[in-house]
Structure formats: structure tokens, C-alpha cells
Structure 1
């Protein structure tokens, strides 16, 4: 290629890329246009043109660089998932509406003071966390995945060693800026985010021996589960395994290992549950609540009676939360139906399913392999919790303290808003990074 033609091509590419704000796509755009330029030159040379004529022809055929750049910018500009954002806002609005109903109708002195105001503060701080995670480049998280995994382990250790005893003697909470944070409850989110990055990192996939790599990956998968068993923390164990095992399958494609782990885990959990009188009675009583006078089955009977008497219109604000234990946390979906009836429950079901479908559609739209795995993990993590919250409405689901995301009262909304913000941030950048782009390892 003549020196002048090289300069002309470089000026052309510079002009095109100047119109595209997604800098991560500049190299791919340059490579694509340069390849197209080479094909045009080769085609023209085969027709008998000289080198200079072929190269000038190819430059003209590429089109106006500013127009091409503007078109590429439209293709690679950031995309905000408005549907997902609307879902988060609507769920938050339902949460505040329910808290107001509990405050208005609860006759016993068993709810926190200024319940709606406190939840408003949690939601505002959650929105701040969501905004911060939205603007974090998720590729940086992949580079820091090992530190995130270690940070989750340290959080659990800090909770067990430093946290005050509360909630049946369980050390789960650590006060941060005056707010009690359930560090153990947040840890499954951090573990799955870290594992998605560790299992996809090039240094794990390419430089470690095959058999050793398999054992390392399996060890990283099982360590959190073993910790949850030892604490013990049954709710986190179930949620973690339900998310981590499918994620492990999608990334490693090791079906046999997962089947062995899954069968062992289910068997171990079943043996643990039935060996603990408290847990075995809770599961039996949940299914046969008609014959139970006190205990967990009694709560299920109250749930069943509350829901069957609600009707389509509900009891209104006067009866919100009456007869229920902790109506603002574990039984919050029941309160909504008690207050607004099954019509309100149907709207909650539609909103929840719509939100889950929006998360799934985000995962399908992302081409980056790590980003897609991250959305898959976060979608599954939030969906499991949402579906469990709805399953309580059956009246036969054992209560294992899994809060309804975005709705029920508590600081858990911080990590849920942060997860939603990260998910939306990945979608926002989906057209700004080359497909399958992998960061350099630490």
C-alpha cells in the first residue's frame, strides 16, 4: 500500500471513531473497516486496476466517515433498561404502600416506630447503592473477582466474631453507620458474582492444568456451602446452592460433577433437616397445619386463614397485619393480600413475573460472556427470592427467613438494589464492548 493511501485510511478511521463514544469498540471498528478496505482493494486489483486506483476506490466505497461514524454510534451507544428500572420503582412503591397499611392498621405495639419512614430511608439508600453499581464497569469486577470472594469470607468471619448476639443467639448483624447489616445474608450475592468472574478468568481457564483446575473450581463452589452448614445458615445455604450449581454448569459444562454435588447436597441438607427436631417439625407442620395448635404450623394455619378470608377486595387498612407475626418482614406478601385482597395479590404476581422476565430479557440481549453469566447469576438470585416470597401465599411453605426482595422491611434492600444496579449497568454497556471481551488477569 502506498504511504499516502495508508495516511488516507488512518484519517478515515480516526474520523469514524471520533463519532463513536464507545471507546471499547474503536479497535473492533478499525479492524472491521480495515478488513473491508482490504477486500475492496483486492477486488479492484483483480479487475486490472493499479494499486493507487484500487486504494482510492476503496476509500470512496467506504462512504462518508462522519455519516458512517454516526451510524456506528447509534449501534454502540449505551442502552438503559427502562423496563427493569420501572420494575424496581414499582416494587419500591408497593413496599411503601404496604408499610403505610401496616402502620395504619396494626393494633399491637409490635412494629418499629415510623415504619414507613424507616423503609423510605432504606429505599433511598438502596437507590444510591443502585446508582453507584450502575456506573461501575462490570469488567473491573471480573478482575477483582478473587478479592470479592475473599471479601465475602471476611464478611462472614466479621459477623460471627464481632457481631452482637441477636435473633435466637445468631451472630448475623454488624452495625455500620448506625444500620444493622446482615452480612451473612448479603454474602451469597458476593459469592456468585465472584465465582462468575473466577471461573471465566483466562488465568483459571488456560494456565491451570485440567484436573487441577477442576478441583480448584469445585473447591471454590463447595467452600461457601460448607461454611453455611457450619454456621448454620439454612436459608443462605439453599439460595446459594440453587444459584451456584446452575452457574457452574453454564460456565464449566461439567454435568457429572454438578450431579454428584447436587445429589450430595440435597441428601446432606435433607439429613440435616430431619436430624434437627426444630427443622423437621417445621416442615411437617407446614404441610399439616390443620392439626397443629402452636409452632410453625400454627403460623401456616394463620396464613391460610388470612388469605382465604381476604376475598377479592381485602379488609382494607383497618385489618392490615392483624393476627400476623412480623407482618412487615416474612409475611409481607400476606399483608398485601389481607389489605388489598386477591385483586392486589394478582397485581403483585403480574408485577413480579414481569420483573423476572425483564431480567431474563436483559441476559439474552448481552453478548459479552462474563456479563451474560453475571446477569444469569443475579437474575437467578433475585428470582429465587421473589418466587419464594410468592410461594408463602400457598400457606404450606416452611418459613426460612428469606426476605421478599425490594418489598419487605429491612436493610436487605441495599444488596438487592445494588444487584439490580449492576444488572442494569451490564445491560447499559452491552453494545459498548466487543462480544466475549475478556480483561487481563490480576
Structure 2
């Protein structure tokens, strides 16, 4: 009984925000700080456009509201819903290929009249939920058979997303599923065999799957100067902007690469270059430290989750957020090919932000809906 009494006492001293709204105070604070930084740099990147800032504020409000709503759903309920979320997302991906709306050369959207959305965004949540649900009911580390079943469950939606084509989202969806397998203790020999198989399939992927513009992006990574006014223009201008910021930066609103319109996509995919130019190395280190705190907090929640499903899901969602940051910063810095992934909570846009905040809502649900165990 003393252990139960200690748990009740702990619950009484828990912050109201966590006890009533099921929100993690530290994580919410970090996300708010990141959002404020995003609005400040967006104001500069859009040449002081209050219209763009107001539009982004509305998107952020919707995203944070989504986070709060999802945080109220207990992990047990999320687990029961998981198969239906996965199957529903898979069905919508199939519909996209049949009747999806085409835009900018890609068929990624479903237009329901009232709302137009990308089902691939749902799979960023559905895949880790589904793999965590499947593995949590089986002995860990997973056997070869369970790994193969999980791989098929990851591969089918990832393949459908590649066909749209959307390599950036396919990368995130595939990575989110792999992270669950990794956190579940997948044996190293299976992991190495899988990596060797992926390497062996690269030529096939290059010849029969990748489009010409996607191949061009990969080739440009190794030598952007081969087409400085075409395919290499984005990377060249981005690295110039980052380098010109120096240690302390040129100051907020004083960036030249963005304001003189040398830097393309400066308010979306390449907004990190604007930030680096205006705030320099010191500002970049502070921004990355904020991202690292969020990632560390997510991993802390995963480690302290009360069941296998919660641990696997929280860990995978956190590592997927890390991939967002890593790929965008690497892409803008010229270390990775351009794949069109936004910088979380900073780049202009709403769809991926809502998905991210829904994921953080799941993290907070896992953190705050803790059962009181009797001794």
C-alpha cells in the first residue's frame, strides 16, 4: 500500500498542465521556443511579410491543437486503433494512385472537396504504430520471421509512396518502421544482412525506379559546379549563405542571399540557410541544441514508458523527428541530396507540421497516462 500511496502523492504534485491536459511541460516549452524562432526567421525570409507570418500562426495553432487532442488519447486506445489506422492509410495510398490529384508533376493528394491532404503524411504515424503494435505482442528480440513480416508491412506503403513519386516522405516512412525494429533489439546479423541487401538493390533502384530529376539531384550532390545555373544552383547558393554568416551572423533581417533573392525556396526547404546567414554559427548551435533537447526529451519518455508498445512507438517517433532535422540540415549544407524535407517547426507549411505535432501528442500521452500499480 505504501507504493500506491507514493504514486498518489506523486500524482498530486504533478504539474496541472500534465495532470489535466496530459501535456509534458518541458516538451511543450521547447516546441513553443522552436515555433517562435521559426516565426522570426520566416518574417525575415519572406521580406517582412506579416501575411505569411499570420498564415503560419494559423497553421501552428491547428498543429498545437492537434497535439493537445491526441495527447488526451490513452496509449491503450492508440494500440486498439492501430490496425485500423494502418489499413485505412494503406487504402488511401492506393486511392491516390487511382484518383489522386496531380500537382507539380506528382500524384500525392486526395481531394475530398472540403479538404485536400496527403495520405502519405498519415503513414508517418501509422507505420511506427503498426510495427510497435505487432512486435509488442511477440517475444523480443524479434525472430527472423517477425522481422520479415514487419519488413513487408513497412515496404508496401513505402513502395506506394515512391510511386507517387515522393522520395522524401518514403525515406521518413521507411526509417520510422526500421527504428521500431532497431529499438526492439533486431539482431545485428539480420541488420547487416538487410543493409547488404539494400546496397545490392541500389543499381536496380537507380535504373528502374528513380526518375531523371532524382538522379540529377544525386549527381549534383557530388559536383554542384557541373551545372551552377541549373541543378547545382540551390546547393551553391545555400552553402554561400551559410558560409557568409560567419560566427555571429549578419543580424536578423540583414541577410543578403535571401533578401536579394539569390537563395531559392528560402521560406520552405532552405530556410535553415537564411537562419545560418543571419545568426551565424552561434545561432545555429543554439537552434541545434534546442532540437537536441527535444530529441533527448522524447528518448527519455520512451525509456520511461510503462509497456513495450509505448517504448517502441515513442522511440521511433523521436528518431523520425531526428531524421527530419538531420536530412534538412544535411541537404541545405550540401552533404545530402535535395529531397524536399522541411525543417521541423521552422519551414513554412502546415501538413507536415500537423503530422509532427500529432506525433508529439502521442509522446505526451505515453508520458502522462501512467497507470498506478498496486504493490
Category of TM-score, reference length = shorter chain: 0.7 to 0.9
Q: Does 1:225 align with 2:161?
A: no
Indicate which of 32, 44, 48 corresponds to 1:89: 32
Distance 2:52 2:4 in 1: 53
Q: Does 1:359 align with 2:298?
A: yes
Q: Does 1:253 align with 2:190?
A: no
2:281 maps to what in 1? Answer: 342
Q: Does 1:115 align with 2:55?
A: no
Distance 1:197 1:286 in 2: 38
* Mapping 1:199-238, distance limit 5 Å: 199-201=135-137, 205=138, 216-238=149-171
2:369 maps to what in 1? Answer: 429
* TM superposition shift of 1:116: 0.9
- Secondary structure of the residue that 1:323 maps to in structure 2? coil
Contact 1:287/1:397 (8 A) holds in 2: no
Distance 1:233 1:267 in 2: 22
1:292 maps to what in 2? Answer: 227
* Mapping 1:13-92, distance limit 5 Å: 33=1, 70-75=5-10, 80-92=23-35
- Secondary structure of the residue that 2:266 maps to in structure 1? coil
**Using a 3 Å threshold, how does the CA distance of structure 1 residues 278 and 177 change in structure 2: closer, same or farther?**
closer
Structure 1: which 5+ runs fail to align?
1-32, 34-61, 63-67, 107-112, 436-442
**Using a 3 Å threshold, how does the CA distance of structure 1 residues 434 and 220 change in structure 2: closer, same or farther?**
farther
Q: Does 1:194 align with 2:133?
A: no
2:102 maps to what in 1? Answer: 165
- Secondary structure of the residue that 2:110 maps to in structure 1? strand
Instruction: Name the stretch that deviates more: 355-364 or 157-166.
Output: 157-166
**Using a 3 Å threshold, how does the CA distance of structure 1 residues 340 and 298 change in structure 2: closer, same or farther?**
same
* TM superposition shift of 1:171: 1.5
1:418 maps to what in 2? Answer: 358
1:283 maps to what in 2? Answer: 218
* Mapping 1:261-276, distance limit 5 Å: 261-269=194-202, 271-273=204-206, 276=210
Indicate which of 78, 86, 92 corresponds to 1:149: 86
* Mapping 1:368-379, distance limit 5 Å: 368-379=307-318
- Secondary structure of the residue that 1:165 maps to in structure 2? strand
1:40 maps to what in 2? Answer: none
Distance 1:270 1:75 in 2: 57
Q: Does 1:407 align with 2:336?
A: no
Contact 1:141/1:197 (8 A) holds in 2: no
1:146-180 alpha-carbon deviations (Å, 9 max, x no partner): 11110111231233334321022x11123468654
How many pairs does the alignment contain? 356
Contact 2:45/2:271 (8 A) holds in 1: no
**Using a 3 Å threshold, how does the CA distance of structure 1 residues 172 and 228 change in structure 2: closer, same or farther?**
closer
* TM superposition shift of 1:429: 2.0
1:191-250 alpha-carbon deviations (Å, 9 max, x no partner): 11122112223xxx38xxx88766544432332233234333322232223232231243
Q: Which structure has the bigger radius of gyration? A: 1
Contact 1:405/1:413 (8 A) holds in 2: yes
1:76-134 alpha-carbon deviations (Å, 9 max, x no partner): 5665532211111111111211221123358xxxxxx9211111111000011000011
Contact 2:123/2:157 (8 A) holds in 1: no
* TM superposition shift of 1:258: 4.0
CA RMSD in angstroms comes to: 2.8
2:71 maps to what in 1? Answer: 134
1:2-28 alpha-carbon deviations (Å, 9 max, x no partner): xxxxxxxxxxxxxxxxxxxxxxxxxxx
* TM superposition shift of 1:264: 2.4
Distance 2:347 2:301 in 1: 25
Instruction: Name the stretch that deviates more: 93-102 or 227-236.
Output: 227-236
1:6 maps to what in 2? Answer: none
Distance 2:161 2:311 in 1: 27
Instruction: Name the stretch that deviates more: 136-145 or 241-250.
Output: 241-250
2:117 maps to what in 1? Answer: 181
* TM superposition shift of 1:400: 0.2
Contact 2:305/2:311 (8 A) holds in 1: yes
Structure 2: which 5+ runs fail to align?
none
Distance 1:236 1:262 in 2: 20
